[in-house]
Structures are given as C-alpha cells and as structure tokens.
Structure 1
C-alpha cells in the first residue's frame, strides 16, 4: 500500500515512524520551513527532519489549493493519505484522490474539541479523560466518520506537555491499527453526533491572561493546560509574569483583593487570592528572566505580600 504522509510537528513523528516501518511511504508533505527564534537559521519541521533521515521525498507547498499541488499528488498516486497535525485544510479535490481515502489523527475524543488546541482544551476544561480519534477527513473541519479511538485518564499531575506526549504515542498505535483495518477492507465508520460537537479556536494572547476572579481549580486547570505552551500569564506594574505552575491552597483569605498576594509560604511560594480561595505560585517566569520555582521567587523578593496582579 502506497501511503502519502502529511504532518509537521513532533506530535506527528511517532505516527510517521510507525507507518514507515511497515509500509511504503512515497512522500511527506509538511509546512514550509521557518527561521528559528533569532531569525537567522532556518529550522526544519520535525516531519521533514525524519523524512530526510529516512530518504523519504519531502514536499512543502505553500498551498494545497493550487492546480500544481493537485497534479503533484495525483502523479504520486497514493492509495491512502495520512494526515497528522499538518496545519493546513485539505481541499475536497485532494480528499477524493486516493482510492482508500484520507485519514487524520485528531487528539481528542470526537466530536468534543474539534479544531485547534484540543489537548490544551481538555485540561483547561477539567476533563477526567481524553484521547485520540482516527477518522476519515471530510470537508467540514474534524467532522468525518471515526474509525478508532484511544483513551487516557487525565490526572492532576498532567500538564499540556505530559498529556501531549502520551497522546502522541497512543495516536501512533491506533493509527497503525486503523491502517491495517483499511488495508483489509474492515475499517468501521462511526458517524459523529454533530449536535454534540464543541470547537476550539487558536489561542490569542488575551486568552492566556489569568482571570483571578476564577476559582482556584479553574486557574489550576488553565495554567497546566497552557504549560509550556502557549503559557498563562499575569501582569504586575506593566511587566509580564508567565505562570507555569500553581497549587490549589484550599484556604480563604478575608483580607486583600482578588489577584493580590495575600500570604507567603516558606519553601513553597507566594499565595494569590482567587474568586473562591487562593493558589500558590509554584513556577513563575518574570519578564526577561529565567523560570523560577515559587521558593526562589519568594527568596529573591521578586514578588511580595501586597503586590496585586492585573
């Protein structure tokens, strides 16, 4: 079976690898290379790096909607196209090209959290479980029939990074299982209940700012759901403090305002008043400084009782 792979970030690489070990991967489509953070050296996408290391042809079209790209895929003549976090919408003309269809690995239990950032969303919304869905791609975003799903529980120790890495491996295992079913002509197609669909849009900067009027649990979930990316933040004296870790304090303070540092706990950090209680800041990155533990923030007198975030 001739498979064309489409993907871009780290999340896609285990899927790429597991298929490459068992099938004929005729090419890899990935997003155009971008300069690194300092804007000097071009940084390859993780999928491109894997493809080059394994002598797989790489294609990086600016658009999938051109006649040139359509003809390229038609000439490659894949039996199946596999998409994993590619980052581009697949047009109808390409969806209809491969005889066995085009499938996608989506990191949520569809129809919940269609669209961007489903891993972040599961944590931010306090879900107790999430998973991956292997589905056929349809014209409507993440609305195709589901072949298989894989689930995992979400614990209080999970952050975006830990959950991302776990789902990355589950996705690869379930993808291989789905491809084998497709190869045998035995792949199920479960229609999604579209009335239950929820959607996640890409994060804007304002979405990442902590609202201290929320409950301590809501703030805890928001912070871990954005750790390490895109990272929650708060403001103090026009300076940005990125917050990577908080701990629920389960203590109410009568004094002070919401968003104010109302206490300090030796060896742990500063305590911020929330809408229903308080949280301890356990990992903080002050503007233009390195990431610090709550204890280091306290010991360095970087934040102190009476400071009020806005």
Structure 2
C-alpha cells in the first residue's frame, strides 16, 4: 500500500517505522524545524530525522489549507494517509483524496480525552487504564469513527514519560493491525458516542501550578501526569520550583496550613501539608539549579521547614 505519513515527535516514530517495514512510504509531512536556543542551530524533529535516514521525501508546509499542497498530495496519489501526532488540522479537501481515507493514532481511549495532551490527562485524572485508538480522521476534533482500540493499565509507578513510551509502541502495533484489516476489507468501524466525550485543551503555564489545597492523591496524580514535561510548578519565596515527583505520605498534620513545609523525612525529602494529608517532594528543580532529589533539596537547604508554597 502507498502511504503518506504525517507526524512530528518521537511518539510518531515507531508507527512510521513499522509502516516503512511493511508498506511503501511515499512521503512524510512534518512540522517545520525548531531552532536550538543555545547554539542557534536547527534541530531536526524525530520524524524528519527518520525520513532523512531512510531517504523518504519530506514536506514541511506551514499550513495544509493551501491549494498547492492539496494538488501536491493529489499528485502523490496515496492509497492511505496516516496521521500520528502531526499537530495540524487536516482539511476536508485532503481527507477526500486517499482511496482508503485518512486514519489517526490517538493516545487515549476515545471518546475520552479528545484533543491535546491525552496522556497527561489520563494520569492527572487518576485513571486506572488508558490506551490508543485507531480512528478515521473527520472534520471534527478527534470525532471520526473508531477502527480499533488497545488498552494498557496505568500503574502507580507511571508518569507521563513511562506511559508515553508504552503507548507509542502500542500505537504502532495497533496501527499495523488496522492497516492490515483495511487491506482485507475487514475494517468495520464504530461511531463514537459524543455524550461520553471529554476534551483536553493545550496547557497554559497557570494550568501547571500545583494547588496545595487538593488531596495527596490528587497532587500525586497531577505531578506525575506532568513529569517530566511540561512539569508541575509552585512558588517558594517568590521563586519557581519545578516539581517532578511527589510521594503520598500517610501522616496527617494538625498544625500549619496547606502548602506549608511541615517536616522532613531523612533520605526522602521535605514533607508538605495538603488537604487531609501530606506529600513528600522527592524530586524538584529550584530556580536556576539542576534537578535534585528530595534528600539533596534538604541537604542544600533549598527548601526550608516553615516555608509556605504559594
């Protein structure tokens, strides 16, 4: 099958790789390159780097809502377009081109968590399972019919990074299964139940700030759902403290207020009072410093008992 691939980040690479091994990739559409702030050098994004290594034609339009781009895709004449974390809306003028349509790998069990950041959202919500959905691309946001889904358990040890890496491999496996079904004409799809839909908007900086009035469970899920990116944060004496990991602590402190550093656990980190309980900060990055363990935060006097996080 002649496949045109659209994707950008690391999450998309396993899907591109498995398609490349089993089908003809006639081109890759990916976002424009980023400039490294430190060295002012262009950094190739993961999908582009794969395409360079494999000599696959690369296209990097700023928009798909362009007649020249539509005409170019028509000339390529793909049997199927596959979209994985591309980051651009696909217009109807392109959706109607391929023989088999356009399918997408979405990192949630649709219709739950349509939109941006579904992996973060599943963790932050405290879900016990998530997965990937292979779906047809429609004009609405993640509203297309579902070809298949595959699930995975969310464990207490998971954070965004571990779950992301598991889902990118699961997505690739589900994708090749779906494409095989399409070739056989066995790709029956089901309509999403819009009444069950939830949405995730792109994060703003203020969305990432820890609310210490939440429970230990809620704060634990919030922090791990954003770790290591885009990362939860709080204010400590007017400076930003990025928090990468907290652990739930079973001790309730009567004294102090929520967000106050009420104690320390040797070798673990500072203890913060929260609603109905407490948490231990076990990994964080003080402003202008490197990421430190909870023990090093205490040893270096970066977090002091009695401080109240804003």
Interval of TM-score (by shorter of Structure 1 and Structure 2) = over 0.9
Any idea what SS the aligned residue of 2:147 has? strand
User: Deviation per CA, 1:165-219, whole angstroms, max 9, x where unpaired?
Assistant: 0000000000000001111111111111111000000000000000000000000
Q: In 1, distance between residues paired with 2:59 and 2:308?
A: 51
TM-score between the two structures when normalised by the length of structure 2: 0.99
Where do 1:157-176 residues align within 5 Å?
Answer: 157-176=157-176
Which SS does the other structure have where 2:142 is aligned? coil
Query: In the alignment, does 2:21 pair up with 1:26?
Result: no
Q: Does 1:236 align with 2:236?
A: yes
- What's the offset of the Cα at 1:39? 6.0
Q: Give 3-state SS (helix, strand or coil) of 1:221's partner.
A: helix
Q: Does 1:148 align with 2:134?
A: no
Q: Distance in 2 between matches of 1:58 and 1:121?
A: 32
| Contact map agreement 2:144 2:191 (CA 8 A) in 1 | yes
- Residue 263 (structure 2) aligns with: 263
Q: How does 1:169-248 map to 2 (within 5 A)?
A: 169-248=169-248
**Pairing 1:96–2:96 present:** yes
Superposition deviation, residue 37 in structure 1: 3.3
Deviation of the 1:24 alpha carbon: 0.5
Partner-residue secondary structure (3-state), 1:259? coil
Q: Which whole-Å CA distance do the structure 1 matches of 2:283 and 2:102 have between them? A: 42
Per-residue CA distance 1:129-164 (angstroms, 9 max, x = gap): 000000000000100000011100000000000000
Please give the TM-score of this superposition, normalised by the length of structure 1.
0.99
SS of the aligned residue for 2:22 comes to: coil
* Whole-angstrom distance in 1 between the partners of 2:119 and 2:189: 24
In 2, Cα distance between equivalents of 1:90 and 1:280? 44
For the residues of structure 1 that align with 2:261 and 2:237, how far apart are their CA atoms? 14
1:79 aligns to 2:100 (yes or no):
no
* Unaligned runs of at least 5 residues, structure 2: none
How many pairs does the alignment contain?
310
**How much has 1:45 moved relative to structure 2?**
1.1
* 1:38 shift after superposition: 2.1
- Name the CA distance, whole Å, in 2 between partners of 1:283 and 1:295: 9
1:281-300 to 2 correspondences below 5 Å: 281-300=281-300
Q: In 2, distance between residues paired with 1:233 and 1:11?
A: 25
Give the whole-Å Cα distance in 2 for the aligned partners of 1:300 and 1:34. Answer: 36
Residues 237, 307 of structure 2: 8 Å contact kept = no
Q: Supply the distance in 2 between the matched residues of 1:238 and 1:256 (Cα, whole angstroms).
A: 20
Superposition RMSD in Å: 0.7
Deviation at 1:237, TM superposition (A): 1.7
Can you give the 5+ residue segments of structure 1 that lack an aligned partner in the other structure?
none
